[in-house]
Chains A and B, each alone.
Chain A
């Protein structure tokens, strides 16, 4: 079991972490026809927007309540009201989803109360769903913001409808923020191939999958619909992907009595064996032939690839669920996790196959990688400077990934995704293998010193 340590520095150097509200806003983007709003000063929204735009290379709907110093001190009721009315007028979304920021939390705005007041004052807003989640910047991290936002959405919009009947084939697929749009699409395919009908929440696979729509929309396009939210309680089970989604699964259970299972990761052979066996069990359908075939392809890839992974020391920095997923799988491939850094606490950290997990920054990761003589660095794009300095291969994982195309289409779950990952990282390791030179195996200085003492060199001038 890994020891969990918190970096004791006063200054974070090269942050690995991003803020809670950004994670929450990202979750909101997985809702259909939604306008996410950060309740705070406009800079927070602007930074969040730029970051998501650079990652997905997509237009990102995201708004701000544009708080200034005065409104921060007086309280944000008026700004929230104006924001809601403005957004409804300009974008006509189905859902306006609000998260707080450090600024408004420091003041202590009671946004839920504001929203109740706004509803009373503006009966014409009845056709627009509103949701709110508290996500101060100075606690938690991106993943926490995502998790809280999904739970808040369920509690705000997932109330069981009167007369709701359980649907025999319907399941809830609660997706953590470490899953890319491509990952979610893959999981949906797998689930559907068992004859099950998944409601994916949040579903960034249809809103941020990089497609060309026929029209321009100021809100998110694609994602979980309000109708689906209202039907969550009719599912036979909730499948949570990532420990971060446990609270959301519990929320559905509390509201509607739907039981749940948590899969803490879906990268790797055994992890997927368990997943498919479970789907076979809930659906009563046999595992489709194509997954049997994919499984054997994965086995073959593991055999081909293990030469290059075996013994490689890896330094990895990622949010808890992604950290567990990748580090556990890399360890299964024969790597050694020489340094693991994450952003926030989580029960999964205990299970990371490393001696220690540091809650820290990329400076901790870089130093740890150096100490461990790591042969591979895994983290988001901000790690590229460290990788350059360390002269080791660099695999980008997580968000932001702004210096590569197709961040949303990176696939690393399922048999097929795992196989792809073996090829991708395996090729990096393969390319980094260096050709030997005559200097590679020089005798150590100690040997030479000992030799010099034993046989003083003749005829050398001092």
Chain B
């Protein structure tokens, strides 16, 4: 069995993943990525997932080994924000040609790493495998090893070719690359009893920065965020944190669990979307740190902060509550975000007429049921035509989804709001909740709706 297959198997057997544990051994062997239906599939590949998970490490060079399709068609399409270095925004690819396909692209890859180190001098280079170079058998692990030795710099292989599976698998394989080659390789300059890791937060539109002020106020230090606004050295030294929070997704569960196993860092799974969930997460962070030996007064400080910030948030939301009560939302998201956004919206009295659970785990669905009271509004698979009909017939007032489906709503002359990776607004923390609600308000009450819905005078 190839190294990649072994890795995939390992990820599939993730003990912290409930969905997997519910399966028989045979089912587990088959893997968790459903066979996709040709001609009826959508969504990114495993390479995409790996890149999403790691590109937010802002000071390293991300080099894509493959033909132009993988990087040329996709670079610069997300908004993970950096507080400084911009290296991650540069698109690097070996852009292999026909000869590389025939004779192998390892030499080109090695030279590419060399060029990048000479020109850009990043603290590390991440090398991503893709379909064609995996099929032709380029051994990126070997090239990275040779290059690391030669250039005295970490060159990290990320073996997650697109055809291995879906985006979600790619997230996990990216995590494996960190576990195998990065985490634990550097010691932090100093540690404190208040050091945590945040895992699976990519700092899209700067959402991490809606959280850090709260942690600062608690006196908690983010030793490393994996991977939003991340620096290579921070992530390499993250094994000295006292506790981890895994952000509202199973994307990097393997990282959280293996860090617990290897370094004794306990973790919990939390969300930064919605007032209740933010408070909960802050409490959990404090609780875990205290449990790990931090002074107990951290709890009190945390409760005080929550009390003040919640009150401030509610008073800022009061204005919108009146305007949004009873508005109906159609929510089409990746599974993990569903429950946390559902909870957030219900806090201001918005009604959820449907939420997609296509990509949700059983646990996600349980959470939604808990929050919404029944499963009536869970949509397993909705075709664009059905979404269009639902909006056209005004059975929902607004759709929240990723950018690709926005036109279903707009063509039905209904408001739409982006809640996926490509969005430009930050919705995390108490602050983000207010932004989310004000954006919904802004979308719903825009005067254009009345105008565009009115028929032409000659009709």
Contact = CB atoms under 8 A, between A and B. Distances in A.
Q: Do A and B bind each other?
A: yes
Interface of A: 9-15, 17-19, 21-22, 37, 40-51, 53-54, 57-59, 63-69, 72-73, 79-80, 82-87, 90, 101-103, 106-107, 136-139, 141, 212-213, 216, 218, 361, 382, 385, 402
B132 A138 contact: yes
A40 B131 contact: yes
Contact of A43 (B44, B67, B134, B413): B44
Interface stretch (B96-104, B271-279, B308-316, B347-355): B96-104
A59 B47 CA distance: 24
Given A19-B69, A43-B48, A84-B39, A106 B115 contact: no
Given A15-B72, A54-B77, A59-B411, 18 more contacts: A11-B111, A11-B115, A12-B93, A13-B90, A40-B131, A43-B44, A43-B46, A46-B42, A47-B48, A57-B407, A68-B35, A83-B39, A86-B40, A102-B132, A106-B132, A216-B412, A361-B95, A385-B89
Given A10-B115, A86-B39, A46 B68 contact: no
Interface string B68-84: 11111111110000000
B91 A15 contact: yes
A37 B26 CA distance: 33
A103 B71 contact: no
B63 interface: yes
Contacts of A46: 42-45, 48
B67 A14 contact: no
B443 interface: no
Given A10-B115, A41-B45, A72 B135 contact: yes
A137 B39 contact: no
A13 B113 CA distance: 12
Contacts of A66: 36-39, 41
B385 interface: yes
Contacts of B163: 41, 67-69, 72, 103
Contacts of B192: none
Interface string B131-147: 11011100000000000
Contacts of A90: 39-40, 383
Nearest to A61: B384
Nearest to B114: A10
A385 B76 CA distance: 10
B95 A72 contact: no
Most chain A CB neighbours (cut-off 10 Å) among B76, B113, B383: B76
8 contacts: A13-B90, A44-B162, A46-B48, A64-B36, A64-B39, A67-B38, A69-B161, A141-B68
B120 to A, nearest CB: 9
A279 to B, nearest CB: 33
B408 A59 contact: yes
B168 to A, nearest CB: 13
Contacts of B388: 216
Given A50-B404, A68-B163, A138-B96, A83 B69 contact: no
Most chain B CB neighbours (cut-off 10 Å) among A45, A69, A141: A69
A413 B85 CA distance: 41
A63 B40 contact: yes
Nearest to B162: A43
B69 A102 contact: yes
A12 B37 contact: no
A249 to B, nearest CB: 27
B444 interface: no
Interface string B101-136: 100000011111111100100000000000110111
Given A66-B36, A103-B163, A42 B42 contact: yes
A18 B67 CA distance: 10
Most chain A CB neighbours (cut-off 10 Å) among B63, B97, B389, B407: B407
B268 interface: no
B165 interface: yes
B136 A43 contact: no
Contacts of A82: 37-39
Interface in B38-68: 38-48, 63, 66-68
Nearest to A135: B69
B39 A103 contact: no
Contact of B67 (A45, A83, A137, A218): A137
B219 interface: no
Contacts of A19: 67-69, 72-73
Contacts of A86: 37-40
Contacts of B42: 42, 45-46, 49
Contacts of A22: 69, 73
A69 B164 contact: yes
A3 to B, nearest CB: 21
Most chain B CB neighbours (cut-off 10 Å) among A41, A53, A106: A41
Nearest to B134: A69
A58 B408 CA distance: 9
A382 B40 contact: no
